[in-house]
Amino acid sequence: MPEISKPASPLIPQLRGVHLFHFEGAPCAQRVRFGLAEKGLERGIEVPWDSDAANTLVAEPGTWASRHVSLIKKQHLTPAYAAIQPHMVVPALVHDGRLYVESMDILDYLDQVWPENPLMPEDPDTARHARELIEWGKKLHVSVRFVSFRWGLGRLGRIGAKAERTLSQLEVKDSPEKLMDFYSRYDRGKIEEATFLEHLAALENGYASLDGLLEKDGRPFLTGPAFSSADIIWSIKVLRIHECGYPFERNFPALFDWYLRVSQRPGFQQGVMARHARMSRAFRIKAAFENLLGRGLRGVSAAARA
Ligand SMILES: N[C@@H](CCC(=O)N[C@@H](CS)C(=O)NCC(=O)O)C(=O)O
């Protein structure tokens, strides 16, 4: 289970109902918001992420309290947030004073507590397949980071000397997120183009496999007729890279059709897009310009398929 049994932050045990520490544009947080919406839990009060004021501690049943942690303002790279999520990443979910981390584990937790609208297929073989796709998606998380920083965020993704110092002081040894390792190289332009391209190729390998699967028998969702967490993790992986200008329509048409289908779901619209649509459009417009200028992701994407 993803529960952190003795959270360092005194805020956590005070929280009642569901509270989500998240960032609008962060793929890992989008997965959880997608899952919450699929479960019929609605976004409730908006609360400063670190607030312990009495009127912010309780989320009404059937809703979740939004505690928005700005990755742009580097609010995640602070001692107060490190006391909540020791690896200084979003999301983190609190339910009745208990703290859960790891987005895909959080989805499993939601499935246990709110079994209606299940996020895992009932049939054991199909469930096994869903798990395999989820594990593959989790491994590719780091590739999304590299590709979206290189072709999406650019200089905006740099954290600067002050945040780097805080990060180096707070990062736990052997943190699986390896933020310090990434930012110390990214901020200085020390990551080689070949590395970015390797991550892009790893993602394309995954997209190609799913495209084949969907094309083969026209299934509506990745594991068959039923929607699952596998659709959640992979649709968010398409969304982010699409925002960076990747030509999914051209390279993986069956996957793109599936993505459009999934993105029409109320859960996606409410959980992912409701407050992200403008930013998503801005990213896509910026990426379209980069593509026009020949510097974008389109030019380096699976050129053989062009
Ligand atoms: N394995 C974690 C990964 C969480 C993660 O990497 N979150 C990203 C956003 S998608 C983050 O907070 N990054 C902070 C940063 O890059 O500075 C999960 O799935 O919850």
- pLDDT at 247 (0 to 100): 97
Average pLDDT over residues 23-45: 98
Looking at every residue in the chain, the average pLDDT score rounds to 96
Can you tell me which atom of ligand 1 is nearest the CA of 177? Answer: 6
230 alpha carbon – ligand 1 mean position (Å): 18
Q: Which of 28, 106, 158 to mutate to test the pocket of ligand 1 (most atoms within 8 A of CB)?
A: 28
Domains in the chain, start-ordered, CATH in brackets?
3-113 (3.40.30.10), 124-305 (1.20.1050.10)
- In this predicted structure, the answer to whether residue 291 has a pLDDT above a threshold of 90 is yes
Nearest CA to ligand 1 atom 12: 89
Q: To the nearest whole percent, how much of the chain has pLDDT over 90?
A: 95
Q: Which residue's alpha carbon is at the smallest distance from atom 13 of ligand 1? A: 89
**pLDDT computed for residue 302 by the predictor:** 74
- Phi first, then psi: give them for residue 204, nearest 5 degrees: -65, -35
Going from the Cα of 87 to the center of ligand 1, the distance in angstroms, rounded, reads 9
Q: Does the pLDDT of residue 133 top 80, yes or no? A: yes
Give the model's confidence band at 304: pLDDT under 50 very low, under 70 low, under 90 confident, else very high. Answer: very low
Residue 305's pLDDT is 52
* CA 4–ligand 1 middle distance (angstroms): 16
Q: Is the pLDDT of residue 299 over 60?
A: yes
Binding-site residues, ligand 1, Cβ < 6 A: 26-28, 71, 76, 89-91, 102-103, 141, 177, 179
Contacts of 140 (CB under 8 A, 6+ apart): 202, 203, 206, 237
- Atom index in ligand 1 nearest the CA of residue 27 equals 10
Asked if 147 contacts 200 with a C-beta cutoff of 8 angstroms, the reply is: yes
DSSP the chain: --EESS-S-TTGGG-BSEEEEE-TT-HHHHHHHHHHHHTTPEEEEEEETT---GGGSBPPTTEEEEEE--TTTTTTSSHHHHTTSTT--S-EEEETTEEEESHHHHHHHHHHHS-SS-SS-SSHHHHHHHHHHHHHHHHTHHHHHHHHIIIIIGGGG--HHHHHHHHHHHPPTT-TT-HHHHHHHHTTT-S-HHHHHHHHHHHHHHHHHHHHHHHHH--SBTTBSS--HHHHHHHHHHHHHHHTT--HHHH-HHHHHHHHHHHTSHHHIIIIITTTHHHHHHHHHHHHHHHHTT-SHHHHS-GGG-
pLDDT of 284 over the 70 cut: yes
265: pLDDT strictly greater than 60:
yes
- Centroid of ligand 1 to alpha carbon of 75 (angstroms): 13
pLDDT for the residue numbered 174: 87
Q: Is the pLDDT of residue 226 over 50?
A: yes
Which residue is closest in CA terms to ligand 1's atom 15? 89
Contact call for residues 231 and 117 (beta carbons, < 8 A): no
Query: Is the predicted pLDDT of residue 1 greater than 60, yes or no?
Result: no
Say how many Å lie between the CA of residue 293 and the centre of ligand 1. Answer: 31
- pLDDT score of 220: 97
Return the pLDDT at 232: 98
Q: What is the rounded average pLDDT of the residues 260-264?
A: 98
**Mean predicted confidence (pLDDT) in 265-282:** 98
For a ligand 1 pocket test, name from 72, 177, 244 the mutation site with the most ligand atoms within 8 angstroms of its C-beta. 177
- For residue 306, pLDDT over 90 is answered with no
pLDDT value, residue 5:
86
Please indicate, yes or no, whether the overall pTM of this predicted structure exceeds 0.85: yes
Per-residue model confidence as pLDDT tens digits over 43-83: 999 999 999 999 999 999 999 999 999 999 999 999 999 99
Q: How far, in Å, from the CA of 39 to the mean position of ligand 1?
A: 22
pLDDT at residue 3 in the model: 85
154-170 tens-digit pLDDT: 999 999 999 999 999 99
Tell me the per-residue pLDDT of 91-105, one tens digit each, with 9 for 90 and over: 999 999 999 999 999
- Choosing from 32, 34, 49, 90 the residue with most ligand 1 atoms within 8 A of its CB, the one to mutate for a pocket test is 90
Rounded to an integer, the average pLDDT of 217-244 is 97
